[in-house]
Amino acid sequence: MNNEQSFSFFPMFRDFIPERFRLWIILFFPLVFQASNPLFMGLSAQQAGSLSLIREDIMMCGFTSIIGITCTFPIVFRLKFRFTTRQILLTVSLGLALLNLFTLHCRLMPLLVIASFLYGILKLWGTFECVSSALPKISPNHILPPFLAVVFTIVFCGVELSCISGIYINHLYNWQHVSYFVMASLLFLALLSAITMQDFRFKPPVPLLSVDWLGMLLWGILLGSISFVFIYGDYLNWFVSPYIRIASAISLFAFGLNFGRMMTIHHPYIEPQLFCYQNIWNVLIIFMISGLMLSSQSVLEHIFTGSILNFGEMRLANLNWITIAGLCIGSIFSYFALTKWGWNTKQMTFLSILFTTMYAISMFFLISPHTTLEQLYIPSLFNGIGHTMLFITLTAYMEGNVPFPHRFQILMVLGLIRTGIASPIGGAFFGHLFKIEMSKNSAWLASDISHISVSQLPFTTITNEVIRQSMLVSVRNLFGIAVLIGLLTLIIILASRFRNVSFRLLSFNKIHKILLQRIRS
């Protein structure tokens, strides 16, 4: 057999696996990883009752899993070059299955939080190993936009499929069967990797030296304590509660330690030079504001569709399918716009925020007790398109804006801003404003019904109508705030300057050499 015939993009597979199937097999793994969760925030009501928890506990576990994902970015290449693909996928698949089994029976909240953090680490480790192994096939020239289009389509569609499968299985059985289905899928992945793959290395292993493990833990504690404050703040009455005060003190202490270590040790987990690159603060501000806007979907749309329109979970699952369509459209458009049509970062960022703002505008005008599910398809499509376009564009820009040693550190910082800070703050912000609006509007509407004869209408009917109208007015006002935030973001983008960057990735050989040089230094 000559060299041309023996060449393979995926040498980690055994010889009996046809080359044409290998890409689809390797991309199937991250789709299942992203669709799995230790606890499903979409089924928080059912899980909270069975596990003797509250809704905020389920949300805390969900955010802790995302924090685990965020904190693992700086070391993904170190892990990739230390272990083989087969070792990684076996470890991740079996580890996620065991953590699912653990969370299914655990009732202690601290242990659930730790398990969720480990779950996030394993999810990113396995996902990155698969998508990075597929990079030479997806983008032979190592160009970022086509690679990121595939990655974010898999990641975001996996999240949506997780919600859809959870709703369907819970409707037919119960939420425990969702975990059983996830564990069965993960065990199938472990069996698949054991049978179809072999231990293959294209370079000698890179030891896990000079890794700031303590820094990783401290950043996780910082993000976890911030999330705790904003998730439980309204439930515990904010700083009246000693738990909120303690969590705030821990976050300040962790931030001080991280900042001190950043300035003193040789290779901190996040290096201070990262914040000196051009446009870094512009992008962080845009990510922060977009995170606040996107959090309006999870809070306000949930109130509107669940409490006002009384749509069941099975009907709302249709919106997830529309969101998946929007995600795919946004990924395809981003690929052509960035690689074929020559659009620049400013144009793409403006368009992505415009789609997100159009979502809020559409919802503002659709707030009515007579809104049908089909009328919500267009806003969901806008939201999916804007979401994936924003992540592809800004991730590609920041990856091209900084040199390799800091490229995955910047991904952690973007995740820190977007999911570790903006999402819990945005959820708490809109949730608290909704309560204020409800109190104000309920008092105003109740004072305006003196002309209604209580003898003609039951008192409970009048009360329910006052509550419903108050919720409608409150949700519309808050979507109006989201619109204003979106318009402000568009103005910021127009006033910003984005320099041209190269979207080309380094080869694995160069990355391997850079990592060895950093270890020796």
pLDDT tens by residue, 269-293: 888 888 887 778 888 888 888 777 7
Asked if residue 171 has pLDDT above 70, the reply is yes
> What is the average pLDDT value for the chain, to the nearest integer?
83
pLDDT of residue 3: 41
Lowest mean pLDDT among 54-58, 195-199, 335-339: 54-58
DSSP line for 256-286: HHHHHHHHHSSS-SS-GGGGGSTTHHHHHHH
Q: What string of DSSP letters covers 327-351?
A: HHHHHHHHHHHHHTS---HHHHHHH
pLDDT of residue 92: 94
Q: Which of 12, 79, 215 is nearest to 511 (CA)?
A: 79
The predicted model scores a pTM of 0.88
**What is the average per-residue pLDDT within 97-112?**
88
The more confidently predicted of residues 272 and 419 is 272
244-248, 328-332, 426-430: least confident range: 426-430
Amino acid identity, position 10: F
Q: Which tens digits make up the pLDDT trace of 135-150?
A: 888 887 878 888 888 8
pLDDT over 80 at 509, yes or no: no
Kindly state the average pLDDT of the residues 243-249.
Answer: 93
Residue pLDDT, tens place only, 175-199 = 788 888 889 999 999 999 999 888 8
What's the distance, Cα to Cα, between the start and end of the chain in Å?
A: 43
Share of the chain above pLDDT 70, in %: 93
Q: Which residue has the tokens 């089909």?
A: 374
DSSP class of residue 373 equals G
Q: What is the helix (H) or strand (E) element at residue 392, kind and residue range?
A: helix 377-401
pLDDT of residue 49: 66
| Residues in CB range of 72: below 8 A, 6 or more apart | 120, 121, 124, 125, 216
Which pLDDT band, with edges at 50, 70 and 90, does 5 fall under? very low
Q: What pLDDT, on the 0 to 100 scale, is given for residue 29?
A: 92
Q: Is the pLDDT assigned to residue 261 strictly greater than 80?
A: yes
- Please indicate whether residue 437 or residue 249 has the higher confidence score (pLDDT): 249
Mean pLDDT of the 400-405 span: 77
**Count of Cβ atoms closer than 10 Å to residue 114 Cβ:** 16
pLDDT score, position 514: 75
CB within 8 Å of 134: residues ≥ 6 apart: 9, 10, 23, 26, 27, 150
Q: Quote the pLDDT of residue 1.
A: 37
Cα(483)–Cα(254) distance, integer angstroms:
35
C-alpha span between 55 and 46 (Å, rounded): 9
Strand, coil or helix: 197? strand
Q: Which domains does the chain have, with CATH numbers?
A: 17-208 (1.20.1250.20), 268-442+458-521 (1.20.1250.20)
Q: State the pLDDT at residue 119.
A: 93
Q: What is the pLDDT of residue 368?
A: 85
3-state helix/strand/coil string of 290-302: HHHHHHHHHHHHH
pLDDT of residue 217: 92
DSSP state letter for 374:
G
Find the length of the chain.
521
Centre a 10 Å sphere on the Cβ of residue 443 and count the other Cβ atoms it contains.
12
